[in-house]
Structure 1
């Protein structure tokens, strides 16, 4: 049982950090873009809400309690990225002052539901009999992968903010970095949504 748990945890980890999971990575990138290092408590709340959301849907989907058309899920995932990017831009003034809207936690939970459905199709194809161990292991792997992605993102944002501070010493680099990241990710995700529009 332990070896099976570890195997599925490794699969979950690989699934979140792999290049074909780029949409999930971009979502984490844009979700974290609105925060600075000092906002770690807010980040914890939002990521926890996202985790709860995708864990619920993952469990429901792999047990066939909730069955969503894969094409619809693949279309909805980039829409969550677009919505998050737009909200970042709308909220950038408040974020620069260190204040955040309460509904962001609810958005993260709701968007987690969508991303969980995306993980489920992959996981459902892997197990044959018992689902408990694969489900727990895969979810643990996803969480570990998310932590790695978010840690790398935090380092990247710190470096970008430092570089902008040197280049533009009279300006706060945060709003510029937030806007640039959010716009770039939103444009990419909009293209994906267009390509994946259900026919």
Structure 2
């Protein structure tokens, strides 16, 4: 049991850093671009919201409760990145400094978009799962591994943002614009490259 937990936790952790999951990594960068190190509690809550979302559809897909068109999901994932970037542009003036409505909306968006990303994770996980009574444990460990990997990615982003804004004296507005514009550009390319077109 402990070996299964350890194995799938590592698989989830390493998967989020793999080339096959770069679109998920790009989403995380876009999602957290408006935050700084001082907002770390909000960021943890946001990433956990995203994990809750993708855990739901990952489980439903793993147990064949839901089925979906893979090409459609491959298109929708970059759409989530692009929409997140656009919302960042609208938040530039009060980026991450306002409480209440903005934070709640951002968390709700993370959960909703997480549902889409969970379907993207499912194809990879299904190829790894065996037919055993440990499926729930494997699923749980994989999700925890992804969560830990996501938190590390965002920690790196927050540290880089801190260095850019405090050592290079870049403005927060410029940082958000650069990260969000770059992510939006890549998302548009990914959308155009999907077989849905």
Whole-Å separation in 2 of the counterparts to 1:178 and 1:55 = 28
Q: Deviations over 1:48-89 (max 9, x none)?
A: 211110111111110110111111111111111000000001
Residue of structure 2 in register with 1:105 after alignment: 107
1:187 partnered with 2:185: yes
C-alpha RMSD over aligned residues: 1.4
Whole-Å separation in 1 of the counterparts to 2:105 and 2:81 = 16
Contiguous gaps of at least 5 residues in structure 2? none
Q: Deviations over 1:89-147 (max 9, x none)?
A: 11111116x11513111111000001111111111111121311211111111111111
Contiguous gaps of at least 5 residues in structure 1? none
| Paired residue total | 192
After TM superposition, the score normalised by the length of structure 1 is: 0.91
How do 1:1-199 residues align onto structure 2 when only pairs under 5 Å count?
1-95=1-95, 98-99=97-98, 101=102, 102-130=104-132, 131-165=135-169, 173-199=171-197
Moved over 4 A (4+): none
Whole-Å separation in 2 of the counterparts to 1:44 and 1:27 = 15
Q: Deviations over 1:131-173 (max 9, x none)?
A: 11211111111111111111111111111112441xx6xxxx1
Whole-Å separation in 2 of the counterparts to 1:44 and 1:155 = 14
Whole-Å separation in 1 of the counterparts to 2:41 and 2:8 = 30
Whole-Å separation in 2 of the counterparts to 1:43 and 1:147 = 9
Q: Indicate if the aligned counterparts of 2:48 and 2:147 stay in contact, CA closer than 8 A.
A: no
Whole-Å separation in 2 of the counterparts to 1:83 and 1:61 = 24
